[in-house]
Amino acid sequence: MTDSREKKYLQSPHSPLSVAIFLGLLNPISALAHPVVFANGTAVMGHHQGEMAELEIVHSPTPKLGLGLSFDRMPQELSVLGKASALLWRGNYPDYQSNIYLSLAAGRRWAAGRPESEGHSSSNTKGNASSPLYQWSAGWDGEDRLIYSMLKYAQNYSNDGLSKQQGTLRLGFAPYKAQNDELTVWGIMEWLPEKSENQMQWTHNVTPLVRLFYKNALLEIGSSFSGKVTFNYMFHFFN
């Protein structure tokens, strides 16, 4: 009696598998918490803020290396990058973990109606210019079971040199220490300063987020103080 009831529970809509599938259907992809992961692990991440959307797929052949592809879409721009990330340092403490990582990426970007396209081709009157794109970024994160902090800086280089600078600072707090199989809830404050080549000044986005983390799925939802809706997810698979 009890046995069959237990089996039914595992197949119920609340079983971990069903939740994972549900999250997977909501977004074709999924999430995780550390930048470079277990050997043979694959992470699928999505970042959405306002009109910006980014999709990233990273595979780790070794625990210290991540190889990935990222697709960025902005209102006037699309970019595709191949990315290699290395875990340069990892600190393991009784209740705390910290990581320093470096990423190098190369790819292409397509910008609509950019000024530099005018001089080039006469056939492309719409001015859709494609150019090589390079990026480097360095990051640090540190977390225990109640506090999470992350710092990152990235620079993009395009045809005319430096095309974008972006920083990220995140501080998160969990109201309780979750067990392995429990849902973890975090409140996160994110500060995102950014400067593109066509901007004279830095823009700042400050976004409070709620992070839900369950098994191999991570979901973050928030709205910036300037009203941009933010939605991030990360799913992680490994053998």
> Which stretch in 5-13, 27-35, 103-111, 187-195 sits in contact with other proteins by CB under 8 A?
27-35
* Token code pair at residue 45: 């991440």
41 binds other proteins (CB under 8 A): yes
Distance, in Å, from the CA atom of 224 to the CA atom of 229, rounded to the nearest integer, reads 6
For residues 142-161, which are near other proteins according to CB under 8 A? 143-145
Distance, in Å, from the CA atom of 45 to the CA atom of 235, rounded to the nearest integer, reads 7
The smaller minimum CB distance to other proteins, of residues 53 and 57, is found at 57
130 binds other proteins (CB under 8 A): no
CA 173 to chain CA mean position, Å? 19
206: phi > 0 → left, psi -120 to 50 → alpha, else beta; which? beta
32 binds other proteins (CB under 8 A): yes
Q: Are 32 and 238 in contact (CB under 8 A)?
A: no
Distance, in Å, from the CA atom of 22 to the CA atom of 13, rounded to the nearest integer, reads 9
Q: Which position among 179, 200, 201, 227 is part of the footprint of other proteins (CB under 8 A)?
A: 179
CA 66 to chain CA mean position, Å? 13
Q: How far is the CB of 206 from other proteins (least distance, A)?
A: 25
Q: How far is the CB of 71 from other proteins (least distance, A)?
A: 24
97 binds other proteins (CB under 8 A): yes
Q: How far is the CB of 51 from other proteins (least distance, A)?
A: 30
| Per-residue b or e along 179-200, where b marks 16 or more CB atoms closer than 10 Å to that residue's CB | eeeeebebebebebebbeeeee
89 binds other proteins (CB under 8 A): no
CA 155 to chain CA mean position, Å? 16
Q: How far is the CB of 2 from other proteins (least distance, A)?
A: 21
12 binds other proteins (CB under 8 A): no
Q: Which position among 75, 94, 161, 227 is part of the footprint of other proteins (CB under 8 A)?
A: 94
14 binds other proteins (CB under 8 A): no
Residue of 227, 229, 215, 239 lying closest to 24 (CA atoms): 215
For residues 50-69, which are near other proteins according to CB under 8 A? 63
Helix (H) or strand (E) holding 26: helix 16-26
Binding residues with other proteins: total (CB under 8 A): 34
The smaller minimum CB distance to other proteins, of residues 97 and 155, is found at 97
**By three-state DSSP, how is residue 10 classified?**
helix
Q: Which residues pair with 149 in a beta bridge?
A: 142, 171
Q: Which residue has the tokens 């079983």?
A: 15
> Which stretch in 17-25, 68-76, 141-149, 192-200 sits in contact with other proteins by CB under 8 A?
141-149
Binding-site ranges for other proteins (CB under 8 A): 32-34, 37-39, 41, 63, 87, 90-97, 143-145, 177-182, 184, 213-216, 236, 238-239
